[in-house]
């Protein structure tokens, strides 16, 4: 059972693997290794596990802290679905979002994106019939980048020296797209700026607008939802809960409030970790689910030159999230399973830049989703209430003066600033959904300081390093570190999001187990099918 760490409880213990951090990458790694017979411990500095996949309650309301939907898990043959089946013994159930999974509201248009390529294409061509050829070319490029990404990710599994030799052959064609911004590529397809704005309207899924984001990131994000989107039955919190349950059943130890002070290593080998209370835990493998910046600058004792290299990339954009509790059920309040993206008029890049420098500017995007509408069990269990999560971008500098003060104890001035933003977000919400006015019974705002506190992101970034063309040039963003026995998982290894973090765990486990885990899991699923499916 997941429990809080007690002082010196683990001193002088030894494990096959220590996982630092219980975000999705760390939990998947722990469950996979445990299922393969390894003695594993997960050390989480906070009081809950799950990172941005954990859910939380206020009164009778429940929200996901960062999970909104995921692609491909409705497909029983897809590696993501098979991985979740394997590490939860089939207990994690998925509900495919019927009809539209995203609705875009921009320039008096409403574009509803439905599952399957045909639905996606039809939605766009209805709005832009004169751009039919450009839309077809766009879909071909999206698929092209997805196909080439397999070689890009495969290179991360090779020994560094071999990867260096084969890099031009494996990654060169992918870099043709990752080195360009989304805007640069789309402008080769069309001169219709309104179509470009619509195609990039969901840039909040990866954090950068078209003039700054790598087209490869844009393509991978779009491709991941082409076949539709899914949500866990019971809510997003079921993901970490059921993975942890399985891991523990196979001998894994999970401890909260277990803050790692440093990774113990020589120049060539990682041997363990030291906790904040001085306890030493030894292991053959150390897997850090902490972002690269924090791992290299705080947890490892390295030359300044090695630390500076990890500071070459910018943090992804920060965000604020308003969690809203409503009186009434989803049907009465006209809430739906689709996520809503509201964008203000004007250039996407300019809007974000203006807002981050002048917070009173219009919100560049206003993301609204309803966890209660997506949760297939909610209506049965709580038929009289509903929930919303609203996300807008934020600038870390607006809050940085309070960053060293304790969580929930940052003072009145901080609370007043939060209330100012909360009221503004609610005012905007009512302008889009007037039927909700008078129905709000609870709301609470999280700021970039929440992301920094719970995820150790130094600047409260949503997605680790920003997904610019420069990010995809860095070969050191890989699961194996230069230090033997030390591996990385999480958003910095592949790209942002739950799916990519899960894949990062498969890569790291493949290196640790010296097996191709992506091939192994389908075989094991087939062998065990009768046991839990």
* Residue of 458, 389, 529, 432 whose CA lies nearest to 104: 432
Scored b (16 or more CB within 10 A) or e, 87-109 reads bbbbebbbbebeebbbbbbbeee
Please tell me the predicted confidence (pLDDT) of residue 533.
56
Please tell me the predicted confidence (pLDDT) of residue 245.
97
Using the 8-state DSSP alphabet, how is residue 237 labeled? T
Mean pLDDT of all residues in the chain?
A: 94
Please tell me the predicted confidence (pLDDT) of residue 306.
67
Please tell me the predicted confidence (pLDDT) of residue 308.
67
Please tell me the predicted confidence (pLDDT) of residue 307.
65
Q: What is the pLDDT of residues 436-490, one digit of tens each?
A: 999 999 999 999 999 998 888 888 898 989 999 999 999 999 999 999 999 999 9
Residue ranges of the chain whose pLDDT lies below 50: none
Please tell me the predicted confidence (pLDDT) of residue 531.
66
User: What's the number of CA atoms in the CB half-sphere (13 Å) around residue 24?
Assistant: 29
Please tell me the predicted confidence (pLDDT) of residue 408.
85
Please tell me the predicted confidence (pLDDT) of residue 490.
95
**Distances in whole angstroms, Cα of residue 380 to Cα of each of 64, 94, 234, 330, 383:** 19, 17, 11, 12, 6
Longest dimension (CA), the chain: 69
* Residue of 63, 475, 88 whose CA lies nearest to 245: 88
What residues have CB less than 8 Å from 346, skipping those under 6 apart? none
Please tell me the predicted confidence (pLDDT) of residue 177.
97
């Amino acid at each position: 059972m997941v429990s809080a760490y007690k002082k010196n409880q683990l001193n002088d213990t030894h494990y096959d693997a220590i996982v630092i951090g219980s975000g999705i990458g760390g939990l998947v790694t722990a469950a996979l290794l445990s299922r393969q017979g390894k003695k594993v411990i997960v050390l989480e500095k906070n009081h809950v596990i799950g990172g941005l996949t954990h859910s939380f309650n206020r009164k009778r309301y429940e929200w996901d802290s960062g999970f909104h939907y995921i692609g491909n898990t409705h497909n029983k043959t897809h590696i993501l679905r098979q991985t979740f089946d394997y590490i939860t013994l089939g207990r994690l159930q998925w509900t495919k979002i019927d009809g539209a999974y995203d609705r875009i509201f921009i320039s008096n248009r409403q574009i509803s994106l439905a599952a399957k390529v045909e639905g996606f294409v039809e939605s766009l061509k209805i709005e832009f019939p004169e751009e039919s050829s450009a839309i077809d070319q766009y879909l071909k490029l999206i698929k092209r980048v997805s196909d080439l990404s397999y070689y890009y990710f495969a290179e991360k599994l090779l020994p560094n020296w071999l990867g260096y030799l084969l890099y031009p052959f494996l990654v060169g064609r992918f870099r043709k797209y990752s080195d360009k911004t989304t805007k640069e590529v789309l402008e080769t397809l069309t001169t219709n700026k309104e179509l470009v704005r619509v195609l990039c309207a969901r840039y909040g899924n990866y954090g950068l607008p078209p003039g700054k984001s790598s087209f490869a990131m844009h393509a991978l994000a779009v491709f991941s939802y082409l076949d539709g989107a899914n949500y866990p039955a019971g809510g997003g919190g079921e993901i970490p809960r059921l993975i942890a349950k399985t891991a523990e059943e196979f001998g894994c130890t999970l401890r909260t409030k277990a803050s790692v002070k440093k990774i113990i290593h020589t120049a060539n080998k990682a041997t363990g970790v030291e906790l904040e209370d001085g306890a030493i835990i030894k292991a053959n493998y150390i897997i850090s689910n902490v972002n690269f910046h924090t791992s290299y600058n705080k947890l490892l004792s390295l030359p300044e030159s090695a630390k500076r290299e990890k500071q070459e990339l910018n943090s992804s954009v920060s965000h604020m999230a308003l969690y809203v509790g409503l009186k009434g059920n989803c049907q009465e309040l006209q809430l739906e399973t689709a996520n809503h993206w509201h964008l203000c008029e004007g250039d996407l890049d300019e809007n974000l830049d203006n807002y981050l420098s002048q917070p009173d500017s219009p919100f560049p995007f206003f993301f609204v989703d309803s966890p209660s509408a997506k949760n297939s069990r909610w209506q049965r269990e709580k038929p009289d209430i509903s929930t919303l999560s609203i996300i807008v971008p934020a600038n870390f500098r607006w809050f940085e003066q309070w960053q060293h003060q304790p969580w929930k104890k940052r003072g009145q001035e901080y609370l007043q600033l939060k209330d100012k933003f909360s009221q503004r977000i609610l005012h905007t919400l009512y302008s889009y959904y007037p039927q909700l006015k008078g129905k709000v019974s609870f709301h609470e705002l999280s700021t970039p300081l929440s992301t920094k506190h719970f995820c150790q992101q130094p600047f409260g970034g949503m997605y680790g390093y920003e997904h610019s063309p420069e990010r995809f040039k860095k070969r050191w963003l890989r699961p194996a570190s230069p230090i033997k026995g030390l591996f990385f998982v999480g958003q910095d290894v592949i790209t942002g999001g739950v799916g990519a973090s899960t894949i990062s765990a498969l890569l790291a486990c493949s290196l640790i187990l010296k097996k191709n885990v992506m091939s192994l899991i389908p075989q094991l699923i087939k062998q065990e099918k009768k046991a839990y499916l």
